[in-house]
Structure 1
Amino acid sequence: MNERITVGRLYTGPTSPSLIHKANKSVELSSTGEKPFAQLLGDSLLKLSNHAMKRLEQRGIELKSEQMQQIGTAIDKAAAKGAKESLILMQDMAFIVNVKNRTVVTAMDSESMKDNVFTQIDSAVIIP
Structure 2
Amino acid sequence: MIGEISRNRSATTSLNKNILKVKPKFFSKILRCEESVINISKHAQKRLDSRNLQLENDDILQLSAAMSELKSKGSKESLLIYKNMGIIANVQNRTIITVMNTKKLKTVTNIDSTKFIN
TM-score (norm 2): 0.71
Deviations, residues 58-94 of structure 1 (Å, cap 9, x unaligned): 0000111111111111101101110000100012211
TM-score (norm 1): 0.66
RMSD between aligned residues: 2.5
The answer for the alignment partner of 2:41 in structure 1 is: 49
Pick closer, same or farther for the CA change 1:46–1:61 going to 2, 3 Å.
same
The answer for the alignment partner of 1:96 in structure 2 is: 88
| C-alpha deviation, 1:39, in angstroms | 6.7
User: Identity, % of aligned pairs?
Assistant: 35
The amino acid that maps onto 2:56 is K
Question: For the residues of structure 2 that align with 1:38 and 1:54, how far apart are their CA atoms?
Answer: 32
Q: What stretches of structure 2 of length at least 5 have no aligned partner?
A: 1-22
SS for the counterpart of 1:42 is: helix
Deviations, residues 74-127 of structure 1 (Å, cap 9, x unaligned): 1011011100001000122110000111000000113431xx100110001101
Pick closer, same or farther for the CA change 1:122–1:102 going to 2, 3 Å.
same
Higher helix share: 2
1:85 pairs with 71, 77, 98, which one?
A: 77
Alignment of 1:98-117 (within 5 A): 98-113=90-105, 116-117=106-107
Runs of 4+ in 1 over 6 A off after TM superposition: none
Question: For the residues of structure 2 that align with 1:90 and 1:105, how far apart are their CA atoms?
Answer: 15
The question of whether the paired residues in 1 share the 8 Å contact of 2:84 and 2:101 is answered with yes
Larger Rg: 2
Matching of residue 67 in structure 1 with residue 59 in structure 2 = yes
The amino acid that maps onto 1:51 is H
Alignment of 1:18-33 (within 5 A): none
Q: What stretches of structure 1 of length at least 5 have no aligned partner?
A: 1-28, 30-35
